[in-house]
Amino acid sequence: MAVESPYTSEDLTSLGLSQERLPRHIAIIMDGNGRWAQSRGLPRIEGHRRGVHSVRAIVEECARLGLDQLTLYCFSSENWKRPRPELDLLMSLLQRYVVAERDEIMRQDIQFQTIGRTDRLSQKILAEVNKTVEMSRDNPGMRLCLALDYGARDELVTAVRGIAEKVRSGEMNVDEIEEGTVSQHLYTAQMPDPDLVIRTAGEMRISNFLLWQISYAELWVTETLWPDFRQSELMTALQDYAARDRRFGGLNS
């Protein structure tokens, strides 16, 4: 799907990388915005504002590398438990991002998509999100996927209900259900599974993120807080990924 990378083979070699050893799909759990702000004596909302700069930098770098997809865990279904002022700011930042970045998304031929529930987002925000999705639908470059009001358990429950309804209606037989059936009923149907999952802020947990899809993904955790995460950290993750031996349960000769 992605357009050809502007990085030459020599560029990648100088970074200790090669096109063949790059992940095609990176998923990132962006953590540490609040801690970044509090450690500087700032309100938590300042960490979220600064985190948008990291989003912009990493999206641009992944597009330059020619990746197929970058998925960012922006807002989980559990995040609704946060204080109302923080929720209001997060929603405002989301709306501003999808509007402000449209020109850049189109310039870089990025295809913008989202996964997660939409019924709890305001109609105003949803309209702006959908506008960016529609504008970029035919772009040939990297897919940028934002996980919004997303929870993997909820996604799996929704998939099971969809499959059960098809069985009940006679559209599908129970014996026909296999792994591919489940995959095609997830929010991520038609998307490749992530090869690499990055988590910032040193937290060693998945946090209900893409539980089905990351079964064989490589995990990479950094102590760096998300507002400080930039290209150098991304390159370190990619170098570590390239050095790993991915066997998918088998043995390499």
Q: Mind giving me the DSSP string for 147-176?
A: EEEE-HHHHHHHHHHHHHHHHHTTSS-GGG
**H or E element at residue 56:** helix 44-65
User: How would you classify the pairing of strands 143-150 and 196-199?
Assistant: unpaired
Nearest to 99 by CA among 59, 141, 127, 69: 127
The residue annotated as part of the active site, out of 33, 68, 79, 149, is: 79
Asked if 218 and 244 touch (Cβ cutoff 8 Å), the reply is yes
Alpha carbons 42 and 178: distance in angstroms, whole number? 50
Q: Is 79 a catalytic residue?
A: yes
Q: Find out whether 2 and 68 touch, Cβ atoms under 8 Å.
A: yes
Matching residue, tokens 């990493």: 58
Name the CA dihedral angle for 100, 105, 111, 117, rounded to a multiple of 10 degrees.
-20
Distance CA 141, CA 158 (A): 30
Containing 62, the helix (H) or strand (E) segment is helix 44-65
- Verify whether residue 31 is a known catalytic residue: yes
- 196, 237 Cβ separation under 8 angstroms: yes
Residue type, 174: V
Q: Which of 31, 68, 149, 195 is catalytic?
A: 31
- Catalytic positions are 31, 79
